[in-house]
A and B are shown apart, each in its own frame.
Chain A
Amino acid sequence: MIRTLNIRSKLFVMCWICFFASFLPTTAIAGNAARTNVRVIHASQGQNFIDSELRDLAEELGSVFKYTSYRLIKSKTMTLSNNQQGVVNLPNKRSLIVTPIKIGGKKIKYQINILKSGDQIFGTQILLKNQRSITIGGPKFKNGYLLFNISGAIK
């Protein structure tokens, strides 16, 4: 029957097939991986400075912190599947390990560990809403503190 169709009809059918096909990969991998971004920030009370890549976050953090300088030290984006560890090396022999342990629905359950010289100094388990972020702070660094902004999106 396809042979009897003219070019326009064929194109029309092809467009619908492509439209429908565009849903298939989403369905197949939905909930299997989490696109995880970790931004390592140095917050201090030094000279006023906000990194251009932190404008969105600095405004938010400004409502709860009194820091005047936000510098982006590192940004790392990883696509992590369930129980796959994502490691971000930090200054002063520290490292951050982020592991999605459950991806589904509209949330991602993360295990986040901060290590210093191989020893865990902080660990938390959080349930992060899809396409939202959490900020963890505390380690002292260069007259200020290190902040870790972790965002996750289900793929």
Chain B
Amino acid sequence: MKSPCKEYDKETISKFVDKELSPEKNDEIKKHIQECDGCRNIFNHYTQFSELFEQNTVRQVDEIDTKMLRQNVLEQIKRKEVHFLKKVFDYFSPKFYLKIASVLVIMVAGLVYFQAQPINFIDTAGASAIVNSVDGDVSSVMIFETEKSKQTIIWFSEA
């Protein structure tokens, strides 16, 4: 709807309907509407629309059961609190102790195992082997070791 009046636009009339104008401006437009048909039509249209809107909105809000709404909100908050507390209690529940117990059992078993069976780390210190005996149809035998990893070497010359 276009305002046929050049003096006031639709927005100003809308503000007038919503009582958002200064008292002076309000009186000025009130007087103008009585004289101007175009602006009066717009004013009537806005007023009807506004009344209709207010009636329906108020009715909808009145239908809301605020007591029930409040109770629902409180229940939601309570449920969240209980959920959080449940998490905290669950953490220290028997399941938690079961986890701790299993870790302890493994640690004790590990200690017992490693004490009974020492870890077989590679023993790189000293010669790699001890030669207990040598025999056979050989003219000479030499035993020595390499410089770096002390690897034992047996060298024999066939007879």
Question: Chain A residues in contact with chain B, CB under 8 A?
Answer: 1, 4-6, 9, 12-13, 16, 19-20, 23, 27, 30, 59-61, 63-64, 106, 109, 114, 119-140, 154
Tell me whether A60 and B135 are in contact (CB under 8 A). Answer: no
Tell me whether B146 and A121 are in contact (CB under 8 A): no
Nearest residue (CB) in A for B96 is A9
Query: Which A residues are in CB contact (< 8 Å) with B146?
Result: 60-61, 63-64
Bound-complex Cα distance A136 to B123 (A): 20
User: Is B115 at the interface (CB under 8 A from chain A)?
Assistant: no
Are the C-beta atoms of A126 and B132 separated by less than 8 Å?
yes
Ranked nearest first, the 3 interchain pairs of A and B with the lowest CB-CB distance are: A132-B128, A122-B136, A138-B156
- Considering the chains assembled together, what is the distance between the CA atoms of A134 and B134 in angstroms? 14
Taking a contact as CB atoms under 8 Å apart, the answer to whether B95 and A60 are in contact is no
Given A106-B120, A126-B132, A129-B129: A16 and B154 interface contact (C-beta under 8 Å): no
Q: Number of B interface residues, CB 8 Å?
A: 42
Residues of A close to B105: CB separation below 8 A = 16
Known: A27-B113, A64-B146. A127 touches B154 (CB 8 A): no
Instruction: With both chains docked as a complex, state the minimum distance between the C-beta of A147 and any C-beta of chain B, in angstroms.
Output: 9
Q: Decide if B136 touches A120 in the complex (CB within 8 Å).
A: yes
User: Are A129 and B123 within 8 A (Cβ)?
Assistant: yes
Whether the pair B154, A134 counts as a contact (CB closer than 8 A) is: yes
**CB-CB < 8 A to B118: which residues of A?**
106
Is the pair A60, B149 in contact by a Cβ cutoff of 8 Å? yes
18 sampled A-B residue pairs with Cβ under 8 A: A1-B98, A12-B102, A16-B102, A27-B113, A63-B147, A121-B136, A122-B136, A122-B137, A123-B133, A125-B132, A129-B123, A132-B123, A133-B128, A134-B129, A137-B156, A138-B138, A138-B155, A154-B120
